[in-house]
Chains A and B, each alone.
Chain A
Amino acid sequence: DQQVKQNSPSLSVQEGRISILNCDYTNSMFDYFLWYKKYPAEGPTFLISISSIKDKNEDGRFTVFLNKSAKHLSLHIVPSQPGDSAVYFCAAPGGTSYGKLTFGQGTILTVHP
Chain B
Amino acid sequence: QQQVKQSPQSLIVQKGGISIINCAYENTAFDYFPWYQQFPGKGPALLIAIRPDVSEKKEGRFTISFNKSAKQFSLHIMDSQPGDSATYFCAASKTRNTGNQFYFGTGTSLTVIP
Q: A and B: partners?
A: no
Residues of A within 8 A of B (CB): none
Residues of B within 8 A of A (CB): none
